[in-house]
Structure formats: C-alpha cells, structure tokens
Amino acid sequence: MSLFISDAMAQAGGASQQGGLMSLLPLIAIFVVFYFLLIRPQQKRAKEHKKMTEAIAKGDEVITTGGTLGKVTAVGETFVTVEVATGVEVKVQRSAIQALMPKGTIKAA
C-alpha cells in the first residue's frame, strides 16, 4: 500500500515545478478579455455622457433617465430645469439626462 502513495507524491511533485507561470496565464488572459470587452467600453461611454451633460444649454431638447422628454429652460451648476409640458417644469440633476434629442423632436411627438 505504501508503494502507491509514494508514486502519487512523486507525480504531484513533478507537475508543480512545471506550472508556475503557465498556471497564471489563463487568469491573465481572462482579465485582458474583460478589460477590452467590458471595462474600456464602459469608461468610454461614461466619458461621452459627461461631455454631453457639460454641453447642455438652454433650449436643448433632452430625454431624462426616467424617459421624460422635455426642453431645457434653465441650466445650473448641478441641476437643469426641463419643461415637460406647457407651464410644467421639472428640475433634474445633470447626470439624470440620458440623451440630447434633435431640435423639433417635441413638436413631432
């Protein structure tokens, strides 16, 4: 019985010497794939959204993250006032604006 145990230990010892860097290679490859497929595109989208929210001006037509379509009537440092209907204004954070719409979108809707 002890003969089999010593053979198994001998095989395990040889395998551990070979696999140092090679055992980390799949983990590194997975990280690289995640970076290029998930992390980098998300950072790019966040940068574009920040640039868009900084460029908001009075008269722009926007959609909020809640799906509300309206026209910007006042712009502050952190808040924007959006007119969603005649005489109805809503104050939202700049970051809550999802997209800028082309001029004339509200009249067409």
H/E run at residue 61 = strand 61-64
Q: Which residues pair with 43 in a beta bridge?
A: none
Predicted structure pTM score: 0.69
Domains and CATH numbers, the chain: 56-108 (2.30.30.60)
List the structure tokens of 90: 């809503």
User: Per residue in 83-108, pLDDT tens?
Assistant: 999 999 999 999 999 999 999 888 86
H/E run at residue 98 = strand 97-101
User: Per residue in 4-45, pLDDT tens?
Assistant: 555 555 555 544 555 778 888 999 999 999 999 999 999 999
